[in-house]
Amino acid sequence: MNSRRMIHHLAHSCKSVVASLLLYSLTAGTLFADNDESGELLQNPGFEAPTIQTGYSLLRPEGWRIFSSLGGSDEIGMSTEITHEGNQALHIAAQGVSGSFQGIGQVIPVTPRGTYEFTVYIHKDPEQPLTGTISGRLSIEWHDEDGNEIERSRSDEWCRRILRRPRWEQFSLQARAPREAASAFFVITQSDGNRPMDGGAFYVDSASIQRIR
């Protein structure tokens, strides 16, 4: 093969390799994109991380922010006792103080005027059934680009009347982001009310946040 033909052959080969690599890259990119198109906006929605030992742990679920009206004191942990999916679930017990509240949530960027659905599954703790005015609910705190809360959406409550049976109950909240919204704090809150009486607890699992419109 003379030098001119060799150069032409190498150039043709290089073009073929580049084209093949480009095709592979596009195909791989499409595959990876498909794997990420579940629409789930939450991190660690099933409370599977970190992994805990069998039973109950006060370890914090990764990706979630915990708060309490009593400062650094809260009764939020993780458990393997009762789960909806996977090996672990969130466990929230009442603080036993009139007027107190606590919760867990995630801040997520949102699209103005977009509609979001926030869903969780709740199960009573058979060993600590809810009493008195203890309840839980979902809420979405909408914030503008400066971090100021501009509006709040709330679900119906779950309480001892709702969680009578030992089974998983689905609760959801659909809400439209205000025009000025840039982010939202999606929250699961437990409130003691004015008569917490003998306490109580519930499990949370299979949380989900998706933009549906």
Domain boundaries of the chain, sorted by first residue: 1-37, 56-211
**Residue predicted with more confidence, 111 or 34:** 111
The CATH superfamily holding the domain 56-211 is Galactose-binding domain-like (2.60.120.260)
CA distance 108 to 105: 10
Interval 155-196: pLDDT, tens: 999 999 999 999 999 999 999 999 999 999 999 999 999 998
Confidence check: pLDDT of 17 > 50 = no
Q: Which of 73, 67, 89, 186 is nearest to 137 (CA)?
A: 186
CA distance 23 to 79: 46
> What pTM was computed for the model?
0.82
Structure-block tokens of residue 132: 């008195």
* pLDDT score, position 37: 63
- Which residues lie below 8 Å from residue 70, measured CB to CB, with a gap of 6+? 95, 97, 100, 102
